[in-house]
Amino acid sequence: MSDEQLVARIRMQALAAHLTEAAAGWAQRLGLPLQGESEFALQLGESGLQLVELGPQAPGPVKVDFVEGAVAHRRLFGGGSGQMIAKAVGVQAGVRPRVLDATAGLGRDAFVLASLGCEMTLIERQPLIAALLEDGLARAALDREVAPIAARMQLLTGNAIKLMCAWQGEPPQVIYLDPMFPHRDKSALVKKEMRLFRPFVGNDLDAPALLEAALNLATHRVVVKRPRKAPLIEGAKPGYALEGKSSRYDIYPKKKLQAASE
């Protein structure tokens, strides 16, 4: 889809008069119109940015909220370092790796790892999703309990392959990839998000190049999240996998993660 076609499908909208100027700022940054017919709207309200499909049968809005809701519940009751994603990236006693989440999306997995003490860099290439993520992180920074976690999350917007190939500074120990694929997850939340994002995101057809770039950059391991029965990403083969009920983590080890004192 061309940029012109995308813009024709979505507009920026302020939900309160005093937010008009701020909404205009987002519209300018993202190249979105403030008026006209559209199928979707990026709305700025009292509680931040949200993406919504317009129309009587549309699902509710999607936003990034690290303070309340499902993400907060997982932070408090999700199982800590015993979670499969934590094991996949190598979280263990004395080890909190520096992780690059190169397919950040709405940032849920990155937030889980940051809440466990990992220093996270996030890359999101879709500007609308990156805007939701930026807004969610800004609001999280204002919450006393969540601010220390948000401080461990740095957001970059752009093409992850290009950014990884031109990486400057200390490379990440672990790179985490969760390429877009046709989700088998039947939860209402995932179905709503997929319906909203599909017109703007599509599938990651460049997943093999993404994996190759990650393997060239990561110092210790690359982790790829996949549906449990999905085929491997084309290219190098993982050393092993961790399998859950609906997902699995393909792990490409390069070097053993060790505690700083070792």
The answer, yes or no, to whether residue 200 has pLDDT greater than 60, is yes
CA distance 40 to 51: 7
More confident position, 129 or 3: 129
More confident position, 159 or 81: 159
What kind and span of H or E run contains 194?
helix 188-201
pLDDT band at 5 (very low <50, low <70, confident <90, very high): very low
Residue 4 has a pLDDT of: 43
Q: What is the mean pLDDT of the chain?
A: 88
pLDDT band at 1 (very low <50, low <70, confident <90, very high): very low
Percent of the chain with pLDDT over 70: 84
Single out the residue of 51, 52, 23, 193 nearest to residue 128, CA to CA.
51
The answer, yes or no, to whether residue 186 has pLDDT greater than 80, is no
CA distance 66 to 151: 12
Residue 79 has a pLDDT of: 61
pTM of this structure: 0.89
Tens digit of pLDDT for each residue in 21-36?
Answer: 999 999 999 999 998 8
Q: Are 89 and 170 in contact (CB under 8 A)?
A: no
Single out the residue of 99, 102, 72, 74 nearest to residue 88, CA to CA.
99
List binding-site positions for S-adenosyl-L-methionine: 108-109, 124-125, 178
Q: Are 233 and 208 in contact (CB under 8 A)?
A: yes
Q: Tell how strand 240-243 and strand 247-253 pair up.
A: antiparallel
- The mean pLDDT of 39-46, rounded to a whole number, is 95
Give 103's DSSP letter.
Answer: S
Residue 36 has a pLDDT of: 87
Tens digit of pLDDT for each residue in 211-244?
Answer: 999 999 999 999 999 988 999 999 999 999 999 8
CA distance 5 to 187: 30
Angle at 193 between CA 215 and CA 91, to 5 degrees: 40
List binding-site positions: 108-109, 124-125, 178
- Domains belonging to the chain, first-starting first, are 3-53 (3.40.1630), 69-253 (3.40.50.150)
- The mean pLDDT of 246-256, rounded to a whole number, is 95
pLDDT band at 41 (very low <50, low <70, confident <90, very high): very high
Residue 164 has a pLDDT of: 98
CA 163, chain centre distance (Å): 16
Q: Are 193 and 51 in contact (CB under 8 A)?
A: no
The answer, yes or no, to whether residue 175 has pLDDT greater than 50, is yes
Burial class (CB in 10 A: 0-12, 13-18, 19+), 99: buried
Tens digit of pLDDT for each residue in 84-136?
Answer: 999 999 999 899 999 999 999 999 999 999 999 999 999 999 999 999 999 99
C-alpha distances in angstroms, 3 versus 6, 9, 12, 200, 239?
A: 5, 10, 15, 10, 39
3-class secondary-structure state, position 48: strand
Single out the residue of 255, 84, 114, 92 nearest to residue 174, CA to CA.
255
Residue 119 has a pLDDT of: 97
Residue 81 has a pLDDT of: 75
